[in-house]
Amino acid sequence: MKKILIVDDEPNIVILMEQILEELEDEGVSILTAKNGEEALETIKKEQPNLVFLDVMMPYISGLEVCETIKKDDYLSNIYIILLTARGQSFDEANGFKAGADLYITKPFRPKDVLLKSKEILGIDQVS
């Protein structure tokens, strides 16, 4: 079963992301959530999701630290990480890629783009 993990300390963003991605559940994709970096690391190690949407600014452990930790772990480094953040400066984006992110998306984002990118990453046929 394919899995997506949504990590954000802002409940409204988690709800929005769940709504955007809910149609993937019909394709057999499991949607998981975490509300901080500590919880994210635990869930990633336990569930090994295929795709992680990761907020940068979170309590306890930042999204950048989570990303670096995952990408340095040979067992987990193949997990596709999308940093989803309000930090839109080129400096912030460079730091995200330096931490190992596969993609950097700034808030606000277009829900359709998030859904299409998720389908592409998970290899789900996109029928318009």
Q: Tell me: the pLDDT tens digits for 28-39?
A: 999 999 999 999
Q: Is residue 128 part of a domain?
A: no
Whether residue 9 is contained in a domain is answered as: yes
Number of domains making up the chain? 1
Q: What is the pLDDT of residues 73-126, one digit of tens each?
A: 999 999 999 999 887 788 889 999 999 999 999 988 999 999 999 999 999 986
Residue 66 has pLDDT above 60, yes or no: yes
Please report whether residue 127 resides in a domain: no
Residue 77 CB neighbour total at 10 angstroms = 11
Which CATH number characterizes residue 103's domain?
3.40.50.2300
Q: Report whether pLDDT(127) > 80.
A: no
Residue that has been written with the tokens 């996109």 in this structure: 126
pLDDT of residue 105: 93
Structural domain range at position 37: 3-120
Identify whether 58 is part of a domain: yes
